[in-house]
Amino acid sequence: AERHFGITIRLEDFINARTVQDIADRIALVRERDDAPGAAAVGESDSPPATPWKIAPETGASGAPSQPEEIKRIVFHEAPLGAVSGDTLKLAPGQEIAVICPSPGSTLAAAVADALGQQLAVVPRVLDLSGQFDLRSPEDAAQAAPSLAGLVLVLDETANAAIQDIEGIPARLAGFFSAMQQLVSSPDRKFCLLITRGVGDADPAAVVIEGVRGMFLDAALEYDSVLFRSVALDGGTDLSAGLKQALSLDHSLAEIRFHGQEAFTVEGHVQPLSVLDPPDFRLNPGEVVVISGGGKGITPHLAYALAPNQPRLILLGSSEFDPEADYNSLIAADAGLAGASPRRRGGRRPASPAGKSDAAMRLTSGGEIAQTLKELARQGIEATYYSCDVNNPENVAAVLGRVVSHYGGIAGIIHGAGIIRDSFMEFMTAADFTQVVDVKLLGAWNLYQAAREHGLRFMVMLSSITAVRGNVGQINYCAGNRAMAALTHVIASRQPSVRAKALMLPPIKGAGMADDPELRELMRLKGMGDSYISVGELAELFYRELFLAPAHEHYVMPIRTLPSLKTVRLNLEEGPPAPGCIIAAGVTYRDFELPMIQTIHHLEVGAGTLEAGRIFSLDHDLWMEDHRPFKFMKNPFVSGVMALETFMEAAHLLCPHLAPLGVRHVQYLDILECPPGVNREARIVCRRLRENAGGEVLCDASLSSSHITATGRVLDHWTTNYTGQVILGLPGGPLPDWPGFTVKPEELDSAQFDQKGMLLFYRKYSNFGGRYRVIQGLDGSSRGVIRGRTMVNQMDDFAGLTGVRYQYPPYLLEALKHLVNSHLLLRDENVTAAMIPFGISEMRFSRPCRPGEQIVLEGRRRSQDSGESAWDIRAVDDAGQIIMTVQGLIMKSFSA
């Protein structure tokens, strides 16, 4: 229509247009308005206009699917706004404004009314609506609606004192929503303000404020010509400066906060996580997590993400569920009787709420819950579903009471219950507004109240980006999500031991209410087609946020991309990483945390895949010069223990929230030789496996390199050098004992070697240099048995890199290998063949080595067969704790 008629249309111009004639009339009105001189409205100031929403192409220029942008982690900070200088909003003589506040006799409300009256040259009316904001009563509506140009809600210190119960907040928001409906139905509508003072973030009144801010974001999209703005004053702010900002047309930002005379707005910016010093926060196996969200949609995927912690889960939804029923058969029978049952579409209204389709939907819901419980059981997680309406405090208290008496406590809550009742704000019913707000806000509060005194340590609420950017037709959802998010401050201040987080989620694909073809098309048309993140990505990000993020970052928005917004400042630029750092999938790593991974070519958090690169060179890898196990080899080569470090770093990049516990199924396939002056390029591929056992996660990994010729020329032909699987999980304690394994002195019948003897030994049989001479001494050996000692020293292993933090103690594993090699040489002095490690069935470790600590090494041969032997070996510290075990180290002899 814009192109055809040469006009600029706003959504509000066509609200309520039902017939073709209506539309024609509206177009004529818009043309008249556009042609009128000086017809600028709010949002058409001198300030540069926000970039309009564009229809995001789904494919790249070549037609190939475009590479999705990396997901960024956005948090919110105050950013200075600067003084305003340009136009402020003007009203025509005789127009009316209403100033309302929830407590009688507000001096700020009176002062605001006076100041606005003077500034706008109108006669304001202060409506003292003690305890409510409702203009719905016939008298108020009649007084206010016909020519209402402005509506101002004032929340000051007295209002703050009056608003103490969270339970009453949905009604307050509904009251103000009704007042806003009155405003937007007035032909004179011009502005709607929220002026606050003396309300702290942790006060219940802040929840009202945030709810109203959420409403403003939606309203600003629906009514482009109306100014919706919240202004928070502090005790030292000059009211006229505050109101000048409030009515400024210099910018279109919806939220202003004053500190003294200085104005700020809230800006979202990229804030990667750091894994260097993660918060001291754990969820232990068996602890209870309550998840509202019906056991359907996206919350089951968050539950699966908790598998490494092996919690007990309580799933809550309002639907009934019979754990004994065979839902698959019931659904099949129902489909046979009545045709295909309608697909349940998230929190949307059922297609037909009556009769059979209701029954069919109950079956579908039951089938989905049964499927979730089955999958959780497969992952070793004990889970129980309870039918529970989170809006109902008695219901929630009763169910969680049962949970507490059965399990003894509740460690965490994930509040994912939500419904959608979309409508343009003018037509939204009070019931639709309140129901949506209730599930979010009251639901969260009821769950918190019921769990708070029973060991609660975290509460994650699934909010939405609509609470940050608004969304046409979702004023109730915006209000509910934003008000709910504000509870994080209330909870954190009342109970600082609880990590309270609101995740402002973008649309999710793969499950849930936005995973619908029609909706995806709508999102695409809104320029948000690329904003979707997959449910797998969400699950990973949720877990990281819970276990790695600072507790004080309460609002967090994981986002891939977003069209720019008029009302909110968002800075999605990631910026270059600080020197010596790399940023990967929203996490910052210092170079000394990842000494073996140099380049990340590709990292997909949701799919759990990584491709990384590494150049090995003698110049950079100082350790390599010392890695010369064989006298007959001219050049040093990459040690297996460093290849395993590379695998663990790769797995850590995929799962930064989990600790590497060991490796298994390792194969040493080919030597990666490094002649002087030659750069050996290696590729590391790592893939997270979906099957996990007992809470442990496995990642397949491989390291390949290009061939070189005898003269050191690098060829474009690749070979795989190492493969294996990394075991990840929660950091554990000491490793379990191996009964009967201890090697006793009386078993040993061979010579002993002290440090000096070992040096001779190393010189005679190898070209190992200093740091690879890891055995300090041998206590002796007997047939198939050996015992020795190592001491791990810290050295600079990489040029220009100090304080390296390895994922595991590589030199300890090296020492265990040397122990086995020493046995062969000790027992048979005439041995001519070299022994090389061929593979490891499983290696586990419990902690890094302390510099200078003495560690006892013990090995027992398990099998021997034509040049191949298999050994079990372990490392034990001074306190008798086992810090590394290797089962099935396969050594093979080979002749040069």
Interface with ligand NAP by CB under 6 A: which residues?
Answer: 292-294, 296-299, 316-319, 346-347, 365, 388-391, 416-419, 439, 443, 462, 464, 505, 507-508, 512-514
Smaller CB distance to ligand NAP: residue 170 or 317?
317
Task: Compute the least distance from the CB of residue 586 to ligand NAP, in Å.
Answer: 18
To ligand NAP, the closest distance from the beta carbon of 349 in angstroms equals 11
Q: How far is the CB of 340 from ligand NAP (least distance, A)?
A: 20
Nearer to ligand NAP, 482 or 823 (CB): 482
For tokens 């042609």, what's the residue? 35
* Structural tokens at position 761: 């030994």
CA distance 874 to 754: 20
Task: Tokens for 622, please give them.
Answer: 């100082």
Shortest spacing between CB 539 and ligand NAP, in angstroms: 12
CB of 277 to ligand NAP, least distance (A): 30
* DSSP string for 292-313: ESTT-TTHHHHHHHTGGG--EE
Q: How far apart are CA 66 and CA 530, in angstroms?
A: 10
400-416 burial: b if 16+ Cβ within 10 Å, else e:
beebbeebeebbbbbbb
Task: For ligand NAP, give the closer residue by CB, 532 or 838.
Answer: 532
CB closer to ligand NAP out of 171 and 239: 171
Q: What is the CA radius of gyration of the chain?
A: 33
- Closest CB to ligand NAP among residues 365, 887: 365
Residues 6+ apart with CB under 8 A from 343: 364
We find the least distance from the C-beta atom of residue 316 to ligand NAP, in angstroms, to be 5
Contacts of 192 (CB under 8 A, 6+ apart): 150, 151, 152, 180, 183, 216, 219, 226, 227, 228, 229
Write the CA distances from 447 to 48, 400, 452, 477, 504, integer angstroms: 45, 8, 8, 19, 19
End-to-end CA distance of the chain: 81
- 298 or 843: CB nearest ligand NAP: 298
Kindly state the smallest distance separating residue 467's Cβ from ligand NAP, in Å: 9
Q: How far apart are CA 489 and CA 461, in angstroms?
A: 12
SS3 714: strand
Cβ 507 vs Cβ 552: under 8 Å: no
Q: How far is the CB of 532 from ligand NAP (least distance, A)?
A: 8
The backbone region for 33, taken as left when phi is positive above 0, alpha when psi lies in -120 to 50, beta otherwise, is alpha
CB of 860 to ligand NAP, least distance (A): 53
* Shortest Å distance, C-beta 206 to ligand NAP: 21
Contact 678, 624 (CB under 8 A): no
d(Cα 585, Cα 686) in Å, to the nearest integer? 15
**What does the alpha-carbon distance between residue 194 and residue 156 come to, in Å, rounded to a whole number?**
11
Residue 126 or 485 with smaller CB distance to ligand NAP = 485
Rounded distance between C-alpha atoms, residue 300 and residue 240, angstroms: 51
Cβ proximity to ligand NAP: between 132 and 341 the closer is 341
Q: How far is the CB of 439 from ligand NAP (least distance, A)?
A: 5
Q: At closest approach, how far in Å is the CB of 697 from ligand NAP?
A: 24
DSSP-based helix, strand, coil % in the chain, nearest 5:
35, 30, 40
Q: How many CA atoms lie within 13 A of 256 on its CB side?
A: 30
Nearer to ligand NAP, 570 or 870 (CB): 570
Judge whether 127 and 96 are in contact, CB under 8 Å: no
**Which is closer to ligand NAP, CB of 465 or CB of 600?**
465
b/e per residue, 789-818, with b = 16+ CB within 10 A?
bbbbeeeebbeeeeebebbbbbbbbbbbbb
Taking the complex as a whole, the smallest distance from the CB of residue 464 to ligand NAP amounts, in Å, to 4
* CB closer to ligand NAP, 390 vs 559: 390
| CB 296, min distance to ligand NAP, A | 4
Cα distances (angstroms) measured from residue 429 to each of 181, 437, 822: 10, 13, 82
Helix residue spans in 389-474 (DSSP H): 393-407, 430-437, 443-451, 466-469
CA distance 226 to 273: 39
Rounded to a whole number of angstroms, the minimum distance from the CB of residue 538 to ligand NAP is 8
Distances (CA, A) of 361 to 316, 331, 420: 17, 10, 17
Rounded to 5 degrees, φ, ψ at 752 are: -100, 160
Q: What is the token pair recorded at 736?
A: 């379990």
The angle subtended at Cα 557 by Cα 551 and Cα 563, nearest 5°, is: 160
At residue 787's C-alpha, the angle toward residues 784 and 790, to 5°, is 140
Using CB atoms, what's the residue nearest to ligand NAP? 297
**Which is nearer to ligand NAP, 418 or 839 (by Cβ)?**
418
Q: Which is nearer to ligand NAP, 468 or 638 (CB)?
A: 468
Nearest residue (CB) to ligand NAP, 545 versus 649? 545
Closer residue to ligand NAP in complex, CB, 423/767:
423
